[in-house]
Chain A
């Protein structure tokens, strides 16, 4: 059955891109998968986000009206199953984490859980990489247990170590390299998140599903 997914709107983003608005991440990722599987002429870059898909195109090859029409057709052609579970090219990624982060105790205090319960809640869900941003290979993961929806730190750290596994604002993420950051650090992983000599260079690719597993003896042992 193919009921399609509503395309809520297509907004102009200059003369070489449009911003397609959709109901939510599953529809965004399903539309992205459709465009990647059969790339419309001139479409050269897609940037998924929580409720939008930015579609960049070469204006010497195609135009606003054609892209808009193609997006409407593709959205209408998506089956309900595609949206519920967008086809991904990569298997579920398992990220081993030492839950020894400097903010683990604070997150426990904020949520009223014990540190061990924070770890249990963080390792339970199957996450989905929603979109990237902030830094190459930094994925915003959805699926975080609502109890762990804590705000960012009031004062961002000037240097968050590479491999830090963190939560903030309803997302989970892993810092691919040392950078400033305001998320709450739960632990660390040695997973090679970003390697420009690998294809794809990022482990956390939009649409990929991810699990975290607790390893070693950390603050929660």
Chain B
């Protein structure tokens, strides 16, 4: 632990500690978890010279305020869903290393597009790891609890030198999300043309969305087969179709097994984008052959 810490002044709707998650425990019922937009957290870590497995704060819908505590000058960076960043009320650049002194308050406004922003701090958030990860898993309750006002997060030792950059170019999430899917594994539970319907329709992300998954609203994806599918392993990005025909898109904290057929799975490269889908956003799918 370094001599630095972050005091949580305000959390916004939801702020959690995230890193690359805890792969390898699924057969014990533990989701992978980790940052919903992994590349965004990775970029924030790079901007402050952290190792790729360092933990940061995932901020949902902005609203986070943290006060830096320590001596000298320390660094932080904000990436992911873009929004106003201020340090002591003064506008500060997005996706750039920000110098902080003791007592400085960094604040994230609501995102102008996308959903989740990431705060990395030089040295990383140094809460105790659980099963090799500091990620908050909202489904299983593993890792630190969601942040609360008054919490203090310890900050670790720097892993490497600060990179010599002023800012990193990054694209903002779109207003309408176009995601590539691979059909299956249970597309044969649906009539011919179901994957085409999935890809032709314009879906709406409902307000029932969190780190576990997003319930989508659109045309009914009717099943061809009746009966129950014995529970089987699930992956992040799976589009699971419950009996009401409205798919659920699984994100980082998804259940490891499930009993509804999965019509298609997101291309892995598009999974981070799915982590940026806000409620109400339009979502379209495009079938990709691997």
Chain A residues with CB under 8 Å of chain B are 11-19, 44-54, 56, 59, 64, 131-140, 177, 196, 200-202, 205-206
- B268, A196: Cβ atoms under 8 Å? no
0/1 per residue, B163-193, Cβ < 8 Å to A?
A: 0000000000000000000111110000000
Contact of A46 among B27, B130, B142, B262 (CB under 8 A): B27
- A-facing residues in B128-161 (Cβ within 8 Å): 130-131, 140-142
- A53, B233: Cβ atoms under 8 Å? yes
| Residue B30, interface by CB 8 Å | yes
14 further A-B contacts with Cβ under 8 Å, apart from A50-B231, A206-B27, are A12-B182, A12-B265, A13-B185, A13-B238, A13-B265, A19-B185, A46-B26, A49-B233, A54-B26, A54-B235, A56-B26, A133-B231, A133-B256, A140-B231
- A44, B24: Cβ atoms under 8 Å? yes
Residues of B within 8 A of A131 (CB): 27, 231, 257
Residues of A within 8 A of B89 (CB): none
Closest residue on chain A to residue B237 by CB atoms: A14
- B182, A14: Cβ atoms under 8 Å? yes
Residues of A within 8 A of B140 (CB): 135-136
User: 6 closest A-B pairs (Cβ-Cβ)?
Assistant: A54-B233, A47-B233, A14-B265, A133-B257, A11-B185, A132-B29
Most buried by A among B29, B30, B266, B267: B29
User: Can you list 9 A-B pairs, Cβ within 8 angstroms, ordered by A?
Assistant: A11-B185, A11-B186, A13-B235, A45-B23, A47-B233, A49-B230, A54-B233, A133-B257, A205-B28
Is the contact region of chain B dominated by helix, strand, or loop, or is it mixed?
loop
Most buried by B among A12, A46, A133, A177: A133
Contact of B268 among A16, A53, A138 (CB under 8 A): A16
- B268, A15: Cβ atoms under 8 Å? yes
Residues of A within 8 A of B235 (CB): 13-14, 16-17, 54, 56
- B256, A132: Cβ atoms under 8 Å? yes
Contact of B255 among A17, A19, A56, A133 (CB under 8 A): A133
- A45, B231: Cβ atoms under 8 Å? no
Chain B residues with CB under 8 Å of chain A are 23-30, 130-131, 140-142, 182-186, 230-235, 237-238, 255-258, 262, 265-268, 290
Shortest Cβ distance from residue A16 to the other chain B in the assembled complex, whole angstroms: 5
Residues of B within 8 A of A12 (CB): 182-185, 265, 290
Residues of A within 8 A of B131 (CB): 196, 201
Instruction: Give CA–CA (A50, B257) in the complex, Å.
Output: 11
Instruction: Give CA–CA (A47, B232) in the complex, Å.
Output: 8
Most buried by B among A44, A52, A53, A140: A52
Instruction: Give CA–CA (A185, B264) in the complex, Å.
Output: 36
Residues of A within 8 A of B29 (CB): 132-139, 202
Residues of B within 8 A of A132 (CB): 27-29, 256-257
- A196, B26: Cβ atoms under 8 Å? no
- A45, B28: Cβ atoms under 8 Å? no
Residues of B within 8 A of A47 (CB): 26-27, 232-234, 256-257
Instruction: Give CA–CA (A59, B271) in the complex, Å.
Output: 14
Instruction: Give CA–CA (A136, B142) in the complex, Å.
Output: 9
Instruction: Give CA–CA (A174, B23) in the complex, Å.
Output: 24
Shortest Cβ distance from residue B134 to the other chain A in the assembled complex, whole angstroms: 13
Instruction: Give CA–CA (A11, B186) in the complex, Å.
Output: 8
Residues of B within 8 A of A200 (CB): 28
